[in-house]
Amino acid sequence: MASGSSYTSKTISREPINTRSLIPARASRDWQAVNVEAEEPETDQVRLTRGKALDAVRSARREPKPLRFTPAPSHARSIRAFTNFFLLLFLFLVMAIPFTSLSRDPQPIINWSGESGKTEIHPVGQPGVPPVRQPRILPVGQHGNWMMIFHDEFNGKALDATKWTTCYFNFTVGNGCDHDQGELELYRPEEVFVSNGTLKLHAERRTVSASNGKVYHYTSGMISTGPTASNPNDSRFAFQYGYIEMRAKIPSGKGMWPAFWTLPTDLSWPPEIDVFEILGDAPNLINMHYHYATADRGDGDSGDEWTGPDFSADWHTYAVDWEPHAIVWYVDGVERSRYTVAAHIVSKPMYLIANLAVGGDWPGSPDITTPFPSDYQIDYIRVWKKG
């Protein structure tokens, strides 16, 4: 326009006030502005006089009205509070479960079966409550309906005295016992250890004097479910027919004589079933024997030998299935011997024995090559009956 004109054209833009920038950052999610005049941007094309232009600009740039903040009703906050409550309740229940379990008086399930090897029997249930159904463990290599009637997995810290004694009933010598057949050891309770899920019958070369005045140069350990000298008519466990199985690792060395066998509860002899006997200087040769009474009251002996691997080098299972019509021996689940003269098969209740003899008429005495101490290690002992 010409410089002499009395009017000028002025464009005034009024921008909206950004209320969010005025809210404290930490409260921005829970607060909202109220009583705020949010105006849409608008442009007024006004023809003003020179004298009024400055006032118009000042008016367009007026200060915003003060803002007041109040808590906003938030559904998210309610949901978070609800979620936190149930999370705390869940954590409380999870922490309470172990203490509830410890307060129970569990009863073990023994009629179970499954894979071979080291398997623990876990206690389940409580008095008055039927136990939870569990898979049953079968003898290694066997099938069919077997009911476990005895077992010891040796998972505690000491020998279970309700199942085992540590001496013969008829060879007691003070706080220990010996045996005949030229054996050199004194069996002592101190040589029976339970640790890490394993029973150890421990043989040592040491000199001890017994209460009978005899001096022994070796000590060792044994266990039996049979009677004791103080109560020869009471066995801790006995059975008539069934399948007995042990998983063990035997020691080697001249004079070592580990065995697993049975004797009758009426204290007679024979009969005797030897699940296995192994001589330490021939650790790959297993001896399986059955001693029985003949018609003329003699001693019948039927048995086999089987040459296998070095049984002292690893764990193996040794078993006998004793039935009215046959006695069958198994090593690692495979049949290795059988006796089938039914007229001679024992029908009396029998109890279990496991021992580590040192020396004797059969193995001979230890020599300088025999390692001491030596351990006969037993993982478990189990007995089943056919269901």
Higher-scoring residue by pLDDT: 14, 236: 236
Domain boundaries, the chain: 7-71, 152-386
| Sign of the CA dihedral with 189 first, then 190, 196, and 201 last | negative
Q: Which residues are catalytic?
A: 272, 277
pLDDT of residue 245: 98
pLDDT of residue 315: 98
- The whole-angstrom separation of Cα 278 and Cα 255 is 10
- Full-model pTM: 0.68
Rg of the chain, C-alpha, whole Å = 44
pLDDT band at 220 (very low <50, low <70, confident <90, very high): very high
Q: Convert the pLDDT of each residue in 365-374 to its tens digit.
A: 999 999 999 9
CA torsion, ordered 314, 354, 308, 332, to nearest 10 deg: -70
**Does residue 347 come out as left (phi exceeding 0), alpha (psi in the -120 to 50 range) or beta?**
alpha
Higher-scoring residue by pLDDT: 52, 254: 254
pLDDT of residue 92: 74
Task: Name all contacts of 310-313 with Cβ < 8 Å and 24+ positions apart.
Answer: 310/252, 310/283, 310/284, 311/249, 311/250, 311/278, 311/283, 311/284, 311/286, 312/249, 312/250, 312/251, 312/252, 312/280, 312/283, 313/283
Name 375's bridge partners. Answer: 202
Q: What are phi and psi of 225, to 5 degrees?
A: -90, 10
pLDDT band at 174 (very low <50, low <70, confident <90, very high): confident
Q: Convert the pLDDT of each residue in 256-309 to its tens digit.
A: 999 999 999 999 999 999 999 999 999 999 999 999 998 887 899 999 999 999
CATH of domain 152-386: 2.60.120.200
Q: Convert the pLDDT of each residue in 139-170 to its tens digit.
A: 999 999 999 999 999 999 999 999 999 999 88
- How are strands ordered across the β-sheet holding 299-307? 222-224, 350-358, 256-264, 272-277, 285-293, 299-307
pLDDT at 131 over 50: yes
- The whole-angstrom separation of Cα 327 and Cα 351 is 16
Instruction: Looking at the chain, list the stretches that DSSP marks H as alpha helix, in order from N- to C-terminal side.
Output: 50-60, 75-102
pLDDT of residue 134: 58
Q: Convert the pLDDT of each residue in 39-48 to its tens digit.
A: 444 444 444 4
**Whole-number average pLDDT of the chain:** 80
Neighbour count for residue 279 (Cβ, 10 Å): 21
pLDDT at 382 over 50: yes
pLDDT at 49 over 90: no
pLDDT band at 114 (very low <50, low <70, confident <90, very high): very low
Cβ partners under 8 Å of residue 20, min gap 6: 28, 33
Residue with tokens 């005025």: 22
Higher-scoring residue by pLDDT: 128, 220: 220
Per-residue pLDDT averaged across 116-125, rounded?
44
Residue with tokens 């479910």: 225
- The whole-angstrom separation of Cα 236 and Cα 225 is 5
Q: Convert the pLDDT of each residue in 307-341 to its tens digit.
A: 999 999 999 999 999 999 999 999 999 999 999 99
